[in-house]
Structure 1
Amino acid sequence: MPLSTTLRCYLTLLRPTQWLKNLMIFFPPFLGGTLFTAVVRPAALLPFVSFCLASSATYVLNDLLDRENDRNHPEKRLRPLPSGRISAVSAGMLALALALAAVGLAWSVSLPFLLFLAIYGLVSCAYSIRLKEYALVDIFCISAGFLLRLEAGGAAFGVTISEWLFLSVFLLAIFLSTGKRLSEKNRLGASAADHRKALATYPEGFLDGTMYLTGSAVLVTYTLYVITRHSPILIYSVPLCCFGLLRYILRVQSGKGGDPTESLTRDLPLFMVGLAWMLMVGWGIYAP
């Protein structure tokens, strides 16, 4: 196999598009009004890079353990491991190297940040090895990853996470994780259990109801969060939040996929509303 093809396979294995999730680390300083103070520090990118390395290590491990099941998936069977373009030994060595590099960088940030990174790694490994097979547990494990990124960002930049922000991120993570599972279940149909055992244990309509429930709860907690910020501009970001939630539900129910990262990057309305939300919230926090 040509060197360029091999490098492309390894890059695919790292899933760099999923690094967008790690931008959650910058949410605490961004929403806390200290982003510009935080990013001018020489080591400002270390927390982000550390989580990118750690998350890629967990993705490689998950693909390594899932390679047999992924061969039953219409898209995942084309990934480097299920297709046989990268060996299991090479993937295992890559995961170990990424994990060690992530720990080394996290250590240089702070001990609390390292603790959150370590918990993230443990939860992700437990998910890949066993927990993804249990209904609800798999969704909460994915959601824990978002919360740990949020808390790690607070620890790295010295920002306290408010109760309403914690609840908003938690419920949003459950909402997105449920949508992803519902999309997989609808797309795979009768063969869903062959790819992921937990999908077979969700009764008909359960994932739909959970997505609607958590989506509504996100809207309430986020509204209360912006009210507590006492900014007259932030309240106008609530309609954007509502549109984004409904657009994601429409995307899932239309069979266009429920992966949060792909939804944001491939769905133009979602991308535009996300950009508008960031600009409006930024204006509300930094302009006064």
Structure 2
Amino acid sequence: MHATVAPRSSLAQIRGLLTLMRPRQWVKNAFVFAPLIFAGEFLKLQSIEKVALAALIFCVASSATYILNDLSDIERDRRHPKKSQTRPLASGLISVPQAIMLLLVLYAVLLATWFVMPAVLYVVLGYLLLNLAYTLVLKHQPVIDIFTIAIGFVLRVYAGAMALSVPVSSWMFVTTLCLALYLAAVKRGQELASNGSESREVLQHYTPALLNRYAEMAATGALLFYSLFVITTRPALVMTIPLVLYGLYRYWFIVESKDGGESPTDALLGDWQLLLTVAIWAVVSAVSIWPEQPL
């Protein structure tokens, strides 16, 4: 039974509410900016503002899904050795009514974006419904759970495209899907290795070898489709292929040697080489397609 928690200060509760929103995870919403680069819109201030607003909207939406998921998993998190101390709801720092109130505020903010970016809101609503299904049902279904996580990243790319009113190419869709499947498979593999199958119900259906094969297949697909995109459509980006390959290698090194794959965000933010690789990729991509016309 969960022990009674002493009253916390207002400052501690504010920090708890911020933690509940998981701002560190907002880095995942960088996928929203992908169409800005590959549509050749990165030199237009208005386009940058539109995509930045779409990314901000997705930050609010992703925080809402984290809160909803924490509310659903509160009892399981209280039995978890790490989450019982780090999750504000499980630790008792934030009460359930406070979390629900914050969730309603975030939903209200999202509804208000209808007057600014209705096309992006449609994508966000799809993301919210997908994550609601994930929280209630899909996260317990093997394989489907990994694809659900991956589709969330694809929807981020679509949100960026909707903000710019440009189509998402088939190359970008399949490359993003494969990369996201790779991250999701690695995440599940690290959860299984670190906490065992008891930490998450769906992990009882997986084995380390199976998840490793999933990750290998997805990483190979991401590299293959990205390379085909570059060679057939954007040959100026050929110098970015080694960067993508190094990024995949480096990430897997972090996973294997430092047990960092359970949180892709922590793995990225905690490794300067991976951060530098992403930064160089973005700069090289922008400079390489600078003279070219958008697709």
Amino acid at match of 2:76: N
Alignment partner, residue 56 of structure 2 = 49
Amino acid of the structure 1 residue aligned with 2:100:
G
* Pairing of 1:162-173 with structure 2 (within 5 A): 162-173=169-180
Cα distance between partner residues in 2 of 1:130 and 1:173? 20
The 3-state SS of whatever aligns with 1:73 is: coil
Whether contact under 8 Å (1:143, 1:173) holds in the other structure is yes
C-alpha distance in 2, partners of 1:230/1:81? Answer: 47
1:254 maps to what in 2?
257
Change (3 A) 1:70 1:255: farther
Equivalence map 1:175-214=2 (5 Å): 175-189=182-196, 192-193=197-198, 195-214=199-218
Aligned to 1:221: 225
Instruction: Report Cα offsets for 1:109-153 as digits up to 9, x if no partner.
Output: 343322111100000111112211111111111111101111111
| Aligned partner of residue 93 in structure 2, secondary structure | coil
Displacement after TM superposition at 1:41 (Å): 6.9
TM-score, normalised to structure 2's length?
0.91
In the aligned structure 2, how far is the partner of 1:118 from the partner of 1:145? 11
Separation in 2 of the partners of 1:38 and 1:206?
A: 46
* Equivalent residue, structure 2, for 1:149: 156
Aligned to 1:108: 115
Name the residue aligned to 2:267.
263
Equivalent in the alignment of 1:32? 39
The alignment status of 1:99 with 2:107, answered yes or no, reads yes
Paired AA for residue 244 in structure 2: C
Mark the CA change 1:66 to 1:197 in structure 2 (over 3 Å): closer, same or farther.
same
CA offset digits 1:12-48 (Å, max 9, x no partner): 0010111111121121122211123154676553312
SS in 1 for 2:90: coil
Measured on the aligned residues, the alpha-carbon RMSD in Å equals 1.7
Amino acid at match of 1:277: W
Aligned mates of 1:99, 1:280 — CA distance in 2: 38
The aligned counterpart of 1:85 is 93
**Separation in 2, partners of 1:179, 1:62:** 20
The C-alpha deviation readout for 1:198-220, integer Å capped at 9, x for no partner, is: 01111341001110111111110
* Partner Cα distance (1:23, 1:93) in 2: 27
- Equivalent-residue separation in structure 2 for 1:113 and 1:99 (angstroms): 15
2:33 and 2:51 in contact (8 A); partners too: no
1:231 aligned residue: 235
Distance 1:39 1:69, change over 3 A: farther
| Matched positions, count | 283
Which shifted more, 126-135 or 108-117? 108-117
1:230 is aligned with what amino acid?
A: R
Partner Cα distance (2:169, 2:209) in 1: 33
Per the alignment, do residues 116 and 238 of structure 1 end up closer, same or farther by CA in structure 2, a change over 3 Å counting? same
Q: 1:141–1:207: structure 2 CA closer, same or farther, 3 Å change rule?
A: same
Quick one: which amino acid aligns to residue 228 of structure 1?
A: T
Which of 71, 74, 77 is residue 78 of structure 2 equivalent to?
A: 71
Q: 1:286 — aligned with what?
A: 290
Mapped to 2, the partners of 1:176 and 1:212 lie a distance apart of 10
Contact 1:143-1:177 within 8 A present in 2 as well:
yes
| 1:16 partnered with 2:23 | yes
The 3 A distance-change label for structure 1 pair 171 and 231 is same
Report if the CA contact (8 A) 1:183-1:255 is conserved: no
